Structure 1
Amino acid sequence: MSHPTPGVPTWVDLGTSDLPDATRFYTQLFGWEADVSGEEYGGYTTFRLNGRAAAGAGPLYGEGQPTAWSTYVATDDADEIAARVEAAGGKVLVAPFDVMFQGRMAAFLDPAGAPFSVWQAGTMRGADVFDVPGALTWNELTTRDVEGSAAFYGSVFGWVARESSMGGLPYIVWEHQGATIAGMQAMDGDDWPDDLPPHWMIYFAVHDCDESAALAQSLGGRVARPPTDLPIGRYAILDDPQGGTFSVLQSANA
């Protein structure tokens, strides 16, 4: 088994207040199959696309914890990353711990307040499929501190922040070892309510953005931002029935 490249987003999962209903919603929206683990894993569910791991979901464990998607960055050493996070001004939310033989994980807050996690692969390497309809295609940090975030993630993962643009607006592209791996957007303007915290947005690829947005709504979700054209394709921001926010992206090359 080949392990994912350290420093690259490798997995996303959903912590939800209603795992059965979230499973209903996402399996119908993306055509995923739900692979439910045993009691020793708390019913953690791996969503598979044509048999390959695409994403995961599990129940909420912390009181007051909101339903939300999480981004995991691959690492060879979760403990070393935890030390780097603290040294760079971030916060360790969940110290590194073993998930049986599956791997080792930890959860953090960056200095601006955006949560993220790391995954040190064991028998479970992360996602097996990317960039096809129903699979993860992009991870994007939205933050009110672009400069500070560039310094933080550069220190923790060795990422390089490159200035770019998206739809005529400034945009940051994260590069790692010469490869483009993620993005960063400044939370400036009226599109970003004051009570919306910095976060990592995840994008799933779809065949047709408009159809996916309409289907999500028919399944009990909400269209938070209607389908919109960008140079890279057409996207929409959606909420699942429990309030978990994610995006769908129809590639311009589709």
Structure 2
Amino acid sequence: MTKDYPIGTTVWQELEVPGTDGLGAFYRAVLGWELALDGDRGRFLLDGELVAGLVVRPGLPAARTGWRSYLGAENLDAAVKRAVAAGSAVRTADKPIGVPGKAAELTDPFGAWFGLAETEPGAAVLPSPEIGRWAFVDPSNFDLASEVAFQDALFPGQHADDREGVITIFRDENGLALRGSYEIHEEARAFLPPHWLPWISVADQREATEIAVAHGGRANTVDNVLTFAVWGVVADPQGAEFKVLQMTKNAI
């Protein structure tokens, strides 16, 4: 059965952290999100609409703290099998997430955590270029050719578009941008391991980085230029990183 989401795009995203100190004020100031907590789980809302989830795991190590991106599969079991055959390892086979459906959490061949999901009709929380919305995700690692080969095996029939130079974008047969990939520069590899990095749309990426710092986070970089956007990278008070993306064109 055809899904109501583009296969290979993110259909759910959630933040895993050891605690919640500073998060409510931070995400409200930087992205306009409101955090609603319910025990060890939570929801981020933008104008009352669900945009992401939160999972609190006391004692979670810094290396595991961060955003999880779940890519939508046509068939979850088949997608997991393709991922494993291409070098992934399954960490949680039946992973509960914040929307109806089923999911699995894996590490890719480079050791970075990501998810696959098959959500029920109408449940997917899809990327959007609108301000304050999750826009994109890129798996970053040390070998772009190997990443492209992995993505080709994970979602056959989609193609890599390297017109941006610094980032390769994976598209479906209609040209829709689904996710990206970035090769980490050699000088940064000693302190920046492979990871999946979310992009979240903001009106002004420089202002967003300044607000992030003022509310207990940090700014890693700012004023990076693509043909369609300018971006920076910030971390929240718990250390979870994401790109603040200022779109300069209507589409990726």
Unmatched 5+ stretches in structure 2: none
1:7–1:221 CA distance, 2 compared to 1 (3 A): same
Q: Secondary structure at the match of 1:96?
A: coil
Partner residue, 2:79 = 81
Q: Match of 2:125, SS?
A: coil
Please state if 1:184 is matched with 2:181.
yes
- The letter for the 2-side match of 1:44 is R
Does the aligned pair in 2 maintain the 1:3–1:125 contact within 8 Å? Answer: no
Q: 2:155 aligns with which of 135, 139, 157?
A: 157
**Structure 1 unaligned spans of 5+:** none
1:164-208 CA-to-partner distances (Å, cap 9, x unmatched) read 234xx4x31111233221211112332x23242111111110111
Tell me, yes or no, if structure 1 residue 203 matches structure 2 residue 199: yes
- 2:211 match: 215
Aligned AA (2:224): T
Residues in 2 aligned to 1:129 and 1:48: alpha-carbon distance in whole angstroms: 14
Q: Note if 1:50 corresponds to 2:51.
A: no
State the shift of 1:138 in Å.
Answer: 1.8
1:7 corresponds to which residue? Answer: 8
Larger CA deviation: 18-27 vs 218-227: 18-27
Answer whether contact 2:5 2:124 (CA < 8 A) is retained.
yes
State the secondary structure of the residue aligned to 1:161.
strand
2:161–2:168 Cα contact (<8 Å) kept: yes
Q: Percent identity?
A: 24
Which amino acid letter does the alignment assign opposite residue 11 of structure 2? T
DSSP 3-state at the match of 1:82: helix
User: Does the CA-based 8 Å contact 2:230-2:248 persist in structure 1?
Assistant: yes
1:23 maps to 2:21: no
Correspondence for 1:119 among 114, 117, 122: 117
- Equivalences, count: 245
State the alpha-carbon separation in 1 of the partners of residues 96 and 19 from structure 2: 25
Deviation of the 1:62 alpha carbon: 7.1
- The CA deviation string for residues 31-73 of structure 1, in whole angstroms up to 9 with x for no partner, is 1122334xxxx53212111222212211126753632111110
Q: Distance in 1 between matches of 2:127 and 2:9?
A: 14
Computed over aligned residues only, the root mean square deviation of the Cα atoms, in angstroms, reads 2.4
Task: In structure 2, give the amino acid aligned to 1:204.
Answer: I
Change in 2 beyond 3 A, CA 1:138/1:188: same
Specify which structure has the higher proportion of strand. Answer: 1
The 1-side partners of 2:215 and 2:127 are apart by: 25
- The answer on whether the counterparts of 1:101 and 1:123 sit within 8 Å (CA) in structure 2 is no
CA contact (8 A) 2:17 2:58 kept: no
For 2:98 and 2:198, locate their aligned partners in 1 and report how far apart those are by CA, in whole Å.
Answer: 26
